[in-house]
Amino acid sequence: MFSPMIFVYAFLILLAIAGPLVYIYHRVKTGRRGKAPLLAQIFTFFGVLAVMSVTLFSQGAMAAGEAAAAELVNTDAFASGMGYIAAALAVGLSGIGGGIAVSASAAAALGALSENDSIFGKSIVYVGMAEGLALYGLLIGFMILSRL
């Protein structure tokens, strides 16, 4: 029922989580900073998770013949699935980028506003421009979904 490779993948995922955490624990215990290794561990974990999910989900396509796999790629279900993924990436990544931009511009605007109250109009424009990133991504996501 389950392939033995699933257990190997599960072990590799657990190793990708636990291995760097032990290293980070020893760094913090000795008084060194653990922020950079923790960020590296997070990116490594999600990279391993992405690779493992692609390999696990592609086993069904590999089991089918080449002709059946070609038919699978050329179906409307595959195209609509890729469209949904594209819309989700457009909305998600623009939301993340907009959040980063708003956090930076709003912090700077509040700092400048505490020094001089007359620049409120200028600072709110920059925060609004950063917010526009997320709105444009949402608009693109709706445009992609309207085509499906």
Per-residue confidence of the chain (148 residues) as pLDDT tens digits?
566 777 887 787 777 777 777 877 888 888 887 777 777 777 877 787 787 777 766 665 555 555 555 565 566 777 788 888 889 999 999 999 998 988 888 888 888 888 888 888 888 888 888 888 889 999 999 999 898 7
Residue partners of 102: CB distance under 8 A and separation at least 6: 127, 130, 131
Q: Is the pTM of this model over 0.75?
A: no
- pLDDT value for 72: 59
Distance CA 119, CA 112 (A): 8
